Every structure is written in structure tokens, then in C-alpha cells.
Amino acid sequence: MKKYVLKRDRNALPERLTRYRAELNDEQFAVVTAQPKASLVVAGAGTGKTRAITYRVAYLIEHGVSPQRILLATFTNRAAKEMLRRVESLTGSQNVHRVWGGTFHRISNQMLRRHAVSIGFDPNYSILDSEDACDLINACIDEAAIDTKAKRFPKADVIQGIISYASNTDLPIENVIVGKYPYFEPLTRQIERIDLMYRSRKQERNVMDYDDLLLNVKRLLVEKKEIAEFYADQFQHILVDEYQDTNRLQAEIIDLLAVKHRNVMVVGDDAQSIFAWRGAEFTNIYEFPKRYPEAQLFKLETNYRSTPEILGLANTSIANNRKQFPKMLTAVRRSRDFKPAMVPCSDVEQQSAFVASRILELRDEGVGLEDMAVMYRSHYHSIELQLELTRRNIPYRIQSGVRFFEQAHIKDVISYLRIIVNPRDELAWKRILKMVPGVGNATANRVYEAIVATRATSGEMKPEDQVAGSDHPAPLLRKDESLQVLASEVVGRIRTTQSWKAFVVLIELLSSQENRDNPSKQIELILTHGYEQYLQENYENADARIEDLKGLGAYATRYKTTDEFLSELALLSTERFKEPQPLVGEEVISGGDEDELLTLTSVHQAKGLEWKAVFLIWAAEGKFPSPRSLREIDSEEEERRLWYVAITRAKDELYLTYPLLMTDYNRQTVLQKPSRFITECPPDLYEIWNLEEEAAVFDAPVEIEDKSPEYLN
């Protein structure tokens, strides 16, 4: 076979690179003009990696590479579109749209639409979203005739999570269950059976879920040699953004496509690899030079975001990780003579007061709320702060998620407490009733109506309902009325089941004289009497939700009564700044209707963002790093990478705060130490702020009752 090489129009090629030289720094210019071969670009935070990738694609096109021979894999389609729009602006080419750009799933879908027939699918296959996938898994559970009532079986979305993690990490289902879901080990064979049925049904119905797009492309490239050779030849240049966040399956697909030309440029920061919990494989970037021994290494270390003081702390902190590509971020910006502030607070209330007070000061100094953020390791760390911001009328948003008290598991537990305080609370009763296996709308309605009728006929208030020292009665739940309904014929056949009997026992415990006004103890009882198991069976991220509830239990220790606790929480839902909107888990939920809003965010959700002033709260040992994460191998280094991500979000000012004293889940007062990520850095890298309470001013002398905790006296 004779080859004929198409000649390029040399007049169309740039003779000089003066424009690139003027618009890129030396590090970026080296990446953009690199020789065609495998390349690893370690791009530190704020160093302009997007700019480097964009100019690299433009450089390739201007040097005669056909756009359709370039593959650009990103983690959002929006990022790819924006990059390619800028490439078109740089090159003036009308053919930039022919670049294969987008997420791994989008690129895989393009290939499968052409070749699905080769692996037994029609080209017009449908793509299942998460809800559709769960419906199909439920159909498989029904077909398998698994008695989900005799032995509570995980819900469809949990099984979907297990299957998805196994697919993306290239692990057997059994290994995933042992490592991440040990409480389902007795059900391993049944779950594996559901997986097989689920795969079969998808093939029969000509549908794929999101993971199948990647799995089937890999299958296509492994099983169909002629197709693999076609794409290996077509993609002369492959670029991958955020490579540190790729999973094993994605890395394998890239390697299969790059097998011929090996012109694969991966760009990422090993120091920002923080998503192992959802399947990202740190070794993809760390071991790239092993898979591509000929790879050239580039480093982007010139930081345009942060002050030298912030970068000094970040560089020193991440240097404690053993597994990494060493780098030293250098600031372009001048010093502001403001070191990162380490702020020990007496307790969590003082921590919230400091953050709110300093935010208002910064706002008066001209820093808008939009330019500030409060970050935390776990979402429950923001409980007290949300209340403090609400009291001070500081509008805020929760980045990428609902507010803490609007999450399903928090509302579930609070519903138990609400029916103890107010037995006529219809919504709370129906919410907790329908969590009992076998109870649907009809049974929940019947039971609630019976409870209301029983209380009405017996007389609503009795002497024991009176709140001490008050003329106002409190309609607390009593064993002699509402509880007798739960054991009556009204309930129907369900009352003989173990799950219903356990539910009744829990209600008895919550309403007993000993526990009815101890919200912390009540939360503990709810968790230990079935709700922890309920979370494991119904949510993929059960561990994080259990951690939230333990944090809520610790927070509740400061309240004398359950009624007082619930009233305080109501502040967050009643003092809204605008009409309530439907809540969607991945939306940004606003806390105010002003033009500017303070951002509250977990560190994971903050990746890729930046603010002038950043507050990192609960920077204490046992909180950050989290104890749960430290139970896993190599997790301390991932936690330090997460810490590094948090620090490098700040442009001008960084505040690290933690409470010296806290009350734990067991109602014990605990003395806290600063995070190991602080103490492992030299003290001259930060400044310690000692807080003092402003003296109270009174118009006339008054007697003040000493309410100091005994341990301070």
C-alpha cells in the first residue's frame, strides 16, 4: 500500500511565535511549544494551566495538525467549550469545532454512536440517568424475588453506587463491598446477582447508564482491533485536563487511544488529588512516568492568585507528603504584610462570633461578601456558624448543596424530636412512619388520624403536660395515649413485624421521663435504634451522614430542653430573606436576596474557586484531618492535599480557626489541639491572634448570674 502525504499550505503557518511569547510566561511557553511526545504537566494552584492547555491546542492547529486529530478531555463540557472558543479566537480557524472536546462520557458517547453495533447495541441506544438506573435495578430486585422485608436489602441507589464504584475502579463487586460496605458482606452474592441481571436487562433494552459509556468504549477498544487501530491512528494528539482526578477506567481509555502516537499531554496537580472517595486514582498522575518512560516533565509554579505569605504556608505544608512531584509555588503578587492568622477560640460560639465579626469588618473595609468564603472539612462543622450568620443578618449561600438542616437525614432525625414535643405534628409523624419497612401512605395516614382522635377524646392537656414555671401547657407525647395507638389494631398486620416493634420501642425511649428533654440523648437513641442501619441501606454516603448526626448530637448538648433546641433550629428555616425555593441537591442555595452573598462551602466543593479572604474553621486535630479518613491507608496524605487545596483558595487573607474546648457526642468536655497540618509548619509562617471579649456596657448596675461551666471556675 502506497502512502500519499497531504502537503500543508506553508503560507498559512505562523512564521514567528512573538504573540505566544508576549502572552505566556516561560513555564507556560515551554508547555505550549513542547515537542510531540508524552508530556506530564504538573500545574500548581493558580498557575494558569487552562491558559497553557488552550494555547497548546491553538499551537497544534496553527502548525498544521487537523482539528479532528486532536482529543481534549476535560471534566466538564462547559470547560471544553470555553477552551475551544478561546482557541478559535486565537487561531481564527473555522474548524475548531471538529476537535474532539468534552468530558470522557461525551467523547465515549460520540464513539459508541458510531460503533455500538459491534458490541451488541443499536446506535440509537438510550442513556439512563440516575433515577432511571435505580428504577431498572428495582425491577431486577423484584425479578430476583429477594425478600427485602425478611432481611433488609440495600436500596437501589446504594446498589447503583456499589456497581458504579466497581466499574470505575476496575474492582470486583466483592472487593468493593469488603472495602467500603462491610455491613453488606452477607448479601454479597445477591448483590452480584443483581449486577448480572442489571447488565443483561440494559443490553436487552438497548440502554446504557453513565458508567457504561466508559465501560463499553474500553470494551470496544479491547475487543475490536480494527476500531482500536482506527482511533489510535486518528488521535495524533491527546490532551487531558485535571488528570489527577481521573479514575482507573478513564486512564486506561486514554492509554488505549494513545498507543500508536503516544503524544499524550496530561495536565494536573498531584497535590490537589482529593477525590479518592469517589474513585479517583492518585497513582494515575503519580505513576504516569512509569507508563510513559519517555515522558517529558513540565512544572507550572508561578502563582498569580495568592500572596507570598499564603504560598509560604502552602508550600511548607504540602512538602510533608512523601508521594508527590516536588514543586515550589512562587508568587507574582507583592506581599501585603499579612501573615495567615491562626485564631484559637475559647469555644465554638466564640469561633462563630469571631468569623461573623471579622466578615463584617472586612465588608466595611471594602471587601464584598462575594469575595469571602468560609470553608470546612465536613458539612456539620457549619451548624453554629449558620445560626450566627442568621442572627447577624449576614446573607449566605451553601456552595453546591442544601443547608445543613435541610438535608434529608437531618430532617428525618428532627422529625422524631418534633413529634415528642408536638404529637399533633402531621408532617413529622408521616415522615418517620414511612421510614418503617412496609408502611406506606395509607398506613401512615391511618395511624396519624388515630393518634389525633385518641388525644382529642382523652382531653389534650393533663397536669404532667405543664411546663415547669409556665402557664402555657406543652402537649408532650404521653405513653398512655399516642403510644397505645402504635400497638393497636389500627396499625394492621405490620404491628407484628420486628421493624415495627423496634419503632415502638424507640418512641417509648424518646418520650420517657428520662430522655424526653435531652435532645442529645434522643439523637443518640435514634441512631443506635435503627436509623444508622437505615442510612447504610438507603444512602451511598452513609458514613458521612452518620458523622453529621453525631455532630448534631454534640451540638444539642448545650440545650436544656428539646423544645428549646428545635426552636433554635427553626431560625434557619423561618428567617429567610426571600421566598423558599424547591431544593435540588446540586444547586447553590441562597441565604439572602441581596446582590452579594457570603459563600459557605466544604473544601471539596471549593476546588477550582478563589476568594480574597478565606476562613477555614474547625482546624483542629480530629476534625481536620477527619478521624474517619485516617482509618484508610494513605489517607493522611490525601487529607493534607485537601488542606493544601483549602489554603490555596485564598488570595489576600487566610484565617485558620478552632475552638479550644468542645462538648463531644458523649457530652464530655474535650480540650482540642490545633490540626497537625498547622503544628507541622514553623510558627513564623503564621500569626496567632488572641481573642478578647469586648467589655459589656450597662446603663445601670445589674446583678449577673454566674453561668460559667464548672470546669472554668
3-state secondary structure of 330: strand
**Per the residue annotation, which of 195, 209, 242, 638 is the catalytic one?**
242
For residue 21, give the 3-state DSSP assignment.
helix
Terminal-to-terminal C-alpha distance of the chain: 93
Is the bond leading into 580 cis (omega within 30 degrees of zero)? no
CA distance 402 to 583: 7
The answer to whether 361 and 383 are in contact (CB under 8 A) is no
Q: Which of 33, 37, 50, 363 is catalytic?
A: 50
The one-letter code for the residue type at 264 is V
Work out the number of other CB atoms within 10 angstroms of the CB of residue 13.
10
Parallel, antiparallel, or unpaired: how do β-strands 237-240 and 207-208 relate? unpaired
Q: For residue 35, report the phi and psi dihedrals to the nearest 5 degrees.
A: -65, 150
Q: Could you tell me the sign of the dihedral formed by the alpha carbons of 308, 309, 312, 313, in that order?
A: negative
Q: Please give the Cα distance from 530 to 502 (Å, whole number).
A: 8
Q: Are 304 and 48 in contact (CB under 8 A)?
A: yes
What DSSP string describes 56-80?
HHHHHHHTT--GGGEEEEESSHHHH
- What radius of gyration, in Å, describes the C-alpha atoms of the chain? 29
Q: Rounded CA gap, 564 and 474, in Å?
A: 12
Residue 178 in grid coordinates = 469488603
Q: Which of 88, 157, 212, 241 is catalytic?
A: 241
Angle at 50 between CA 45 and CA 56, to 5 degrees: 130
Q: Please, which residues bridge with residue 372 across strands?
A: 613
Q: How many residues does the chain have?
A: 713
608: Cβ contacts below 8 Å, ≥ 6 apart: none
- Beta bridge partners, 343, equal 657
| Residue 218 to residues 147, 281, 291, 499, Cα–Cα distance (Å) | 36, 17, 18, 44
CA distance readout (Å), 216 to 208, 386, 450, 624: 9, 45, 54, 39
Say whether 241 is catalytic: yes
Please say if 649 is a catalytic residue.
Answer: yes
Tell me which DSSP letter residue 620 carries: B
Q: For cell 502525504, what's the residue?
A: 5
50 is catalytic: yes
C-alpha cell at 545: 451522614
Rounded to 5°, angle at Cα 598 from 597 and 600: 130
| CB-CB contact of 93 with 175 (8 Å) | no
Tell me which H or E stretch contains 653: strand 650-659
Cα–Cα distance for residue pair 288/271, rounded to 1 Å: 15
Q: How many CB atoms lie within 10 A of CB 429?
A: 23
Catalytic residue among 272, 350, 443, 557, which?
272
Is position 225 annotated as part of the catalytic site? no
Q: CB-based contacts of 616: which residues, under 8 Å, 6+ apart?
A: 374, 375, 376, 603, 624, 646, 647, 654, 655, 656, 657
Q: Which of 377, 431, 649, 651 is catalytic?
A: 649
Choice among 28, 49, 350, 522 that is catalytic: 49
Just list the catalytic residues: 49-50, 241-242, 272, 649
